[in-house]
Amino acid sequence: MLLSKNSALESKDNEIFEVEESIAIQSELIKTMTTMVNSKAYVNERNQMVPEARCRKQANYHVEQNNKIVDEELSDWESKFFEVDMDDLHELFMAANYLEIESLLNGVTKRVGDFIKACKNVEVIRQTFGINNDFAAQQEEEIRKLNSWNHI
């Protein structure tokens, strides 16, 4: 791929990543900017909010994704890539959200969905994600009843 241009992306921690342009434009945000500007250096300062770790992950993700041709390998690699703990998942989410990378976002949402599916009941979900239960006691009662209507 000698003809493809490399974009230099600068992260919040001022680290510069060189990625192929074809990978960089998977991010909608970067794509919009590059199509407008048609210049590689211009893109740098836009990444003010993305800390380094995320950016590296993005770069890795895309590079790997584009390198894997076989579907099986890709899905294996993807499942390993997303087997991270909550904090990392949070980071990936924020990054995918900010940079608007659809495939990454899909991967992360699927992972969160799998987490929720695996939880046996509401309490476990709350503990896994750290969700605060702010229902009043009466609402809890209503919910308990509602639960019985749904599941009996």
Partner 1 sequence: MEKKVGRKKIKQEKQRHDPDDDNNPRNTSSSRYSDTSGLKDYVFHQIIPSFMYIWKHDQEKSYKHVDVPKSSAKNNMDPNDFISHLPDDILHHIISLLPFKSAVRTSFLSTHWKHLWKEALLDSVHDVITIEAAITAITSFVDDFDTRHRPRNKWGLIFELGHGRGSLVASISSNSSLKLDFSAGKQEFPMPFDLFLKMNIAPPNRLSRRYMFDWLLEENHPSQSEQPPSNTMRVKSLHLISVSHLSNMAVSSLVPKLPFLRSLTIAKCNGLQSLQIKEAKGLRKLVVLDCPHLQSLSFEGSSLKSFRYRGNLVSFRFRGKCNCFPLIRFCECGLLLDDAMIDIRQGALTQWTWDFEIETPFSRGLRKGNHCDCANKYKCFNSILRSIKDVQSLTMCRWFYETTMCKKLPFSSRCPKYYLSVLELWWIDCSMERESINALLCFLKLCPNLKRLNITVSLPFL
Summarize as ranges the residues that interact with partner 1 (CB under 8 A): 32-33, 36-39, 41-42, 46, 86, 90, 93-94, 97-98, 100, 105, 109-110, 112-113, 116-117, 121-122, 125-126, 129-135, 139, 143, 145-152
Instruction: List, in order, residues 6 or more apart from 41 with CB less than 8 Å away.
Output: 8
Least Å distance between CB 133 and partner 1? 6
Query: For partner 1, which is the closer residue by CB, 12 or 42?
Result: 42
Least Å distance between CB 54 and partner 1? 14
Pick from 35, 32, 39, 37: nearest CA to 100: 32
Pick from 75, 74, 94, 78: nearest CA to 86: 94
CA angle 21, 83, 79 (to 5 degrees): 65
Least Å distance between CB 50 and partner 1? 12
